[in-house]
Amino acid sequence: MDQSALFKMAILMVSVFAWSVHTFAIESPFHPPLSNVSIAITTTNGAVKARVTVQLPTPCHRVASWGLVAHEGPTFFANSQFVVDREVACVQVVTPVEHDYDLGLLPPGSYRLLFSAWERPTGTNNFSVVAPIPGANFYRLSGLGATRIIPLTRSRSSILTATSAAPNSPFVLESASSPNGPWSSNFPYTVIANTNSQIVVMVPGGLAPPRAGCCDSDIVHRIRDSILLGTQPCRLDAFVWRDFMPLVGGSMTDLQARVDVIAIDGTPVSSSAIITRIWLINGSQVWDAFSRYGKPLLGPGVLSMRLRSGPFWEPYTDTDVVVQVSIENVNYLLRSTQLIWRWD
């Protein structure tokens, strides 16, 4: 046998040896640590999918099986199998692998996905499915210099924001189940801000007004002390105090307040506007003041309310006064931060 034939045979033997080492390498089960596993839940028209991503530490680690998903009550189980070739030298190069599990159409409720490798839990995700908003998946804002259609991308989304190309201009809000309409404006909503160029509106389908609609921290910080009531610029004036002056029979030291909604240009406030709710917020405490203790004050073209019998909050602390003014099916929120004064 000549040298050329011997060389070819040697190459063949090396190739066969390398193949046999790889084929018959010792594979061991691998359990990905929790820090290497992430689970993302997506919902499309009620259909829920879970995307599991696992960071494998080397190319010698691989997926043997993603397994199937099963469930018992609100808990879903996915049992996978990962292996590692222990007899093969590998460089430390992280390799991500991912897989989508179809969880099907789920009714509203709370659920949990438990992801395991070789029956050992390696990741979990608690998630919720909420009811879709009936008949209002899209909202249309007109009169901002350009018409803008906003989809509700989250089932509990209730805050719509937009920037107006025509500052301090009135707008029209409409809803529809399709971006092609038909559009309707016959539904209640709450305007949080509409002055200058910023438009913030709370629509049905999210936090439930009036209490949560007022006093959720994400909403309160957006409310300003001025707003367009329809087309009329108005502002909120407020004064909050406790009276420690001595009286016959004792003092009335409970919290009191007066609120005034005034047209900025000095004209009378629209006769169709009425104060429908008032809240005073002191830290985590909320006084729903209007429902029991509100007394309207008569004034020419001014919306005024006197409040009594409030809580015993400490004087010289800041309190947010939030007033809801309603015109037909539209609510408007105004806020003024006031110091609680003490009268002696």
Cα 145 to its chain centre, rounded Å, is 28
Spatial CB neighbours of 43, under 8 Å, sequence gap ≥ 6: 49, 129, 155
Tokens 């924001």 map to which residue?
161
Topology, domain 207-344? Immunoglobulin-like (2.60.40)
Cα-Cα-Cα-Cα torsion 246, 251, 254, 259, nearest 10 degrees, comes to -50
CA distance 166 to 197: 7
pTM of the model: 0.57
Domain boundaries, the chain: 27-129, 133-200, 207-344
Do 201 and 173 meet the contact criterion of CB atoms below 8 Å apart?
yes
pLDDT digits (tens, 9 = 90+) for 244-301: 877 654 456 889 999 999 999 888 888 888 888 888 999 888 887 764 445 556 566 7
Coil, helix or strand for 142? Answer: strand
Distance CA 198, CA 162 (A): 6
| Identity of residue 314 | E
Render pLDDT for 102-147 as a digit per residue (tens, 0 to 9).
888 777 778 889 999 999 999 888 887 765 545 556 788 877 665 6
